[in-house]
Structure 1
Amino acid sequence: MAGAGLSPAADQEKEAEAFVPGTSYFDEKGYIEYVAGNLPVIFTAPHGGSLTPEAIPARSSATCGPKTVTQTDLNTQDLARQIQQAFFNKTGKYPHVVINRLARSRLDANRDIGAAACGNPSAEQAWRDYHGFIDAAKADVLAEFGRGWYTDLHGHGHAVQRLELGYQLTAETLRLSDAELDAAPAHEQAASFRTFSEESPLSFSALLRGPTALGTYLTDAGYPSVPSQQDPAPQVGEPYFTGADPGYNTPRHGCADGGHICGVQIETHYAGVRRTLTDRSDFATALADVYPDFLAQFGIRIEPKAKTPPTPGDEIVVDNLNSFNDPAKARFVTSGSWVDGNNSQSHGLNFRLLSNPSAKDTAEFRFYVPTPGSYAIDAWWPAQSGRSRNVVYQIHEADGSTALAESVRDQRVDGAQWNPFGVHHFSKAGWAKVVVSQSPGATGSLAADAVRVTLTHLTPSEGVAVLAGLVGELPLDAGNARSLNAKLDAASAQFGRGNVEAGKGQLGAFINQVTAFKQAGSLSAEQARPVIEYAERVIRDAEQQTGQ
Structure 2
Amino acid sequence: LAFEIHAHLSGRGRQFVPWMLVTRIHRSKVDLNRNFALCQDEHRRPCNRPGCRPEHCHCVLCPSSNFALAIYHGYHALLADARMLMGRQWGAGLYLDLHGIGSDYTVCQLGYGLQASALQDRKILQDPLLCTIATAARNSPEGPQAVMNGGHSFGAMLSAAGLPCTPSPQFPIPGQKPCADRSNPKYQYFTGGYCVRHYAQRPAEDLVDGLQLELPSAMRKPQALRTSAQSIAQAVVQWLQAHHAVSLRKWHTLCRP
Q: Per the shorter chain, which TM-score range? A: 0.7 to 0.9
Change (3 A) 1:265 1:184: closer
Secondary structure of the 1:97 match is: coil
Distance 2:188 2:142 in 1: 26
1:292-326: per-residue Cα shift (whole Å, max 9, x none)? 221223225558xx9xxxxxxxxxxxxxxxxxxxx
Kept in 2, the 8 Å contact 1:163–1:226? The answer is yes
Kept in 2, the 8 Å contact 1:163–1:266? The answer is yes
Pairing 1:211–2:151 present: yes
Q: Which runs of 5+ in 2 are unaligned?
A: 41-58, 177-181, 253-257
> In structure 2, what is the equivalent of residue 241 of structure 1?
189
Please give the residue correspondences for 1:117-136 in structure 2 after superposition, counting only pairs within 5 Å.
117=60, 118-119=62-63, 120-136=65-81
The amino acid that maps onto 1:98 is L
Secondary structure of the 1:288 match is: helix
> In structure 2, what is the equivalent of residue 274 of structure 1?
220
Q: 1:262 is matched with which residue: 209, 226, 245?
A: 209
> In structure 2, what is the equivalent of residue 253 of structure 1?
199
Pairing 1:288–2:233 present: yes
The amino acid that maps onto 2:118 is T
Secondary structure of the 2:141 match is: coil
Q: 2:129 is matched with which residue: 182, 189, 201?
A: 189
> What is the count of residue pairs matched by the alignment?
217
Kept in 1, the 8 Å contact 2:126–2:143? The answer is no
Pairing 1:89–2:34 present: no
The amino acid that maps onto 1:86 is H
Distance 1:200 1:297 in 2: 9
Structure with higher strand content: 1
The CA RMSD measured in Å over matched residues stands at: 2.4
Pairing 1:101–2:15 present: no
1:90-144: per-residue Cα shift (whole Å, max 9, x none)? 2246201111232323211111223761221231121111111111111222233
1:39-98: per-residue Cα shift (whole Å, max 9, x none)? xxxxxxxxxxxxxxxxxxxxxxxxxxxxxxxxxxxxxxxx11111111112224620111
Change (3 A) 1:123 1:160: closer
Give, in angstroms, the shift of residue 195 of structure 1.
3.4
Give, in angstroms, the shift of residue 220 of structure 1.
1.0
1:428-485: per-residue Cα shift (whole Å, max 9, x none)? xxxxxxxxxxxxxxxxxxxxxxxxxxxxxxxxxxxxxxxxxxxxxxxxxxxxxxxxxx
Kept in 1, the 8 Å contact 2:174–2:189? The answer is no
The amino acid that maps onto 1:292 is V
Secondary structure of the 1:130 match is: helix
Q: TM-score, normalised on structure 1?
A: 0.37
Please give the residue correspondences for 1:496-511 in structure 2 after superposition, counting only pairs within 5 Å.
none
Kept in 2, the 8 Å contact 1:171–1:240? The answer is no
**Quick one: percent identity of the two aligned structures?**
25
Kept in 2, the 8 Å contact 1:155–1:268? The answer is yes
Distance 2:159 2:84 in 1: 32
Secondary structure of the 1:192 match is: coil
Larger Cα Rg: Structure 1 or Structure 2? 1
The amino acid that maps onto 1:299 is H
> In structure 2, what is the equivalent of residue 484 of structure 1?
none
The amino acid that maps onto 1:84 is H
The amino acid that maps onto 2:189 is F
Please give the residue correspondences for 1:409-428 in structure 2 after superposition, counting only pairs within 5 Å.
none
Give, in angstroms, the shift of residue 194 of structure 1.
2.0
Structure with higher helix content: 2
Higher relative contact order (CA 8 A, sep 6+): 2
Q: 1:198 is matched with which residue: 138, 143, 154?
A: 138
Distance 2:199 2:84 in 1: 11
Change (3 A) 1:133 1:216: same
Give, in angstroms, the shift of residue 206 of structure 1.
0.8
Distance 1:164 1:257 in 2: 23
The amino acid that maps onto 1:106 is K
Kept in 1, the 8 Å contact 2:124–2:130? The answer is no
Q: Which runs of 5+ in 1 are unaligned?
A: 1-78, 307-548
The amino acid that maps onto 1:275 is K
Distance 2:154 2:77 in 1: 27
The amino acid that maps onto 1:192 is T
Q: TM-score, normalised on structure 2?
A: 0.75
